[in-house]
Amino acid sequence: MGLRIGEEAPDFKQNSTEGEISFHDWIGDSWAVLFSHPKDFTPVCTTELGAAARLKPEFDKRNVKLIGLSVDSVDDHKAWSKDIAETQGTAPNFPMLGDEDMKVAKLYDMIHPEASGPAKDRTAADNQTIRSVYVIGPDKKVKLVLTYPMATGRNFAEILRVIDSMQLTAKHQVATPVDWKSGEDCIIVPAVSDEAAKDKFPDGWKTVKPYLRYVKQPQG
């Protein structure tokens, strides 16, 4: 069974393109996004790592660290980085874990052999990691789990959007509605009574239903 939201993210020590990483120590007081790619020198992952590198300043603004992984070696990662820089305009500017022993991939349930189709069609290459994404908070708890099929590239703008929501809702007693983006109205959670909401949201709110109350995004 894979990791669930609210569980502690497993700690590990593993070599990376930026030296050995002790995962919980590396996270420190930050948030982290751990994401895996099936194999080095593959087309979809090349585009993803370039996109993540270009967006790193946005993750930095949110106090979020990025870290990638595949079951290939650190030397392969470093060689691949040159191709990513050439084709995507930006080389990975965050650590990429080498995981040839599949220690981290197994800890995080990133090996899904069935994702490659019927058993008769599988090969040794089916030890590839699927496209997993884990967002982990400063408390080292899993906040988000996303699993993409092998052939579908991730949307890193969506990952940023979800982090905006999680960081906001962790601080204020609000939830975010469908397709919400930072700066848009939020929803007062049902656990907050109208009486308590008067203190929390002195500028008022819009009641659509007793359980559906829209309020401007809290600041600070």
Active site residues: 45
Place of tokens 């084709």: 87
Q: What is the sign, positive or negative, of the torsion defined by CA atoms of 151, 48, 145, 102?
A: positive
Q: Which two tokens stand for residue 54?
A: 């270009």
The span from the CA of 75 to the CA of 98, in Å, is: 8
What is Dmax (Cα atoms) for the chain? Answer: 64
CA trace torsion 51, 56, 61, 62 (10° rounding): 70
Number of H helices, E strands in the chain: 6, 11
> Shortest CA distance to 171 belongs to which of 31, 4, 27, 10?
31
Phi then psi for 126, rounded to 5 degrees? -80, 10
The span from the CA of 105 to the CA of 50, in Å, is: 22
> Shortest CA distance to 142 belongs to which of 14, 20, 37, 33?
33
